Amino acid sequence: MSMNEKERAIVLKNEGKTAAKYFEEKAKVGGFAGCFATQITDELYDFVVSKIVEKWNVKDLALKKLGLSENTVGLMKEQHIEFYAFPENGNYGRKKGNDGKWRSAIYESIYIYYSGKEVYAYSITKALVRNTSFDTEEESVVIPYNEKDPFFTKPVFKTIYTKYLFNAKSKRCGCNGITLTDEAFDTIVIHDYERLNLKQRALEKIGVDESQVKEIEPVKFAWYSLMKNGKFRDFKEIGLHQGDDGVWRTGVFEVTWLFFSDAQIFTYKYEFHLSESRRNEITQEYFFKDVTNFTSFSEDEEFPKEKSKDSDDESDGKSNRITSESFKIVVPGEVFLCSMRNDEFANQRIMAMKAKLREKKG
């Protein structure tokens, strides 16, 4: 039963108690209001939490901590992420709602700003109800774009990395629908590698000028890496998460550039661990006359799915079928592989390479 305006006003007046009662068995609002009893649904809890978090004024706190102004951030790309948090330490309420999403009595809100020269980030994690043994945590960081280490090695970002890849429960729900989505995670990764200007780095490593490799448009593949040397990686070490889009993501990312001269294909692959200062660069060259095929390549394998702590998810403990998508250059006795996202853009690029190969072979 939905609330009328009077009932809604009573709930908001007692928002702290309403939030606390959500975690009680068959909890209802009414004991403190005295005039009605309303089931505390998932939707009602989210609504109350949104009002509590609104009073935190997180954006104002972020600007103050980061030394920014409204005028300054108006020229930057803003990213806002928030979600129910599940810290390992502390005694607090947590519950799987009727909608299948997990909620807790701890909430985290994050603001990130990208200026093109620096990235600014601020997070605050607080208890939503009283009598919760959790101390408020705040983190802030300013990272110059010429910083060599990945964003995810820094405060705020390190928390996002852990929550997305190692604790999927914490990303499933936010009171305002502003959650740690696949798109939000991808946005951070894209900003991280784009600042490296890898196209120019690739040309320098290969030792060619761009004017020498204009046979067809240079091709870039950029995606999370699930395999290395023909085998699936150790996901316990690097993390693994299947997004709401069904695509698997890990803590290792690959950016590959392909350049084409009249006779040769030049490849540059940059692999970096998102949460460590570990990176690998590989360059290779092939002659069109030696290449037998350009193609996409899929490989899948079943992995046991570990049962999450405090979880009653029926799928936990069963197996996952994980699929890796790659681009492949085939030459006699050798195969070049790189990670790719199998989408229309990638397929168009592969078709263009195939057409050029047929032209060269003809």
- Residue stretches of the chain with pLDDT short of 70: 1-14, 16, 25-38, 168-172, 177, 305-318
* Contact indicator for 171, 163 with CB cutoff of 8 Å: yes
pLDDT score recorded for residue 166 = 85
Which tokens in the block code for residue 256? Answer: 């590959």
Kindly state the DSSP code that residue 214 receives in the 8-state scheme. Answer: B
The per-residue pLDDT for 24 is: 76
Say if residues 269 and 338 touch (Cβ distance below 8 Å).
yes
Phi then psi for residue 353, to 5 deg, are -65, -40
- 229 — alpha (psi -120 to 50), left (phi > 0) or beta? left
Q: Alpha carbon 102 to chain centroid distance?
A: 18
Residue (of 237, 245, 241, 302) closest to 275 by Cα position: 237
Answer yes or no: are the C-beta atoms of 8 and 29 closer than 8 Å: no
Classified as helix, coil or strand, 71 is helix
Radius of gyration of the chain from Cα atoms? 25
Residue type, 294: F
What confidence score (pLDDT) does residue 312 get? 46
Cβ–Cβ under 8 Å, residues 156 and 139? yes
H helices of the chain, in order, are: 5-13, 15-21, 42-54, 58-66, 70-73, 157-166, 182-194, 198-206, 235-238, 344-361
pLDDT in tens, 172-207: 677 776 788 899 999 999 999 999 999 999 999 999
Q: Cα separation of 84 and 87, whole Å?
A: 10
What is the pTM for the complete model shown?
A: 0.86
- E strand segments, 115-174: 118-127, 137-144
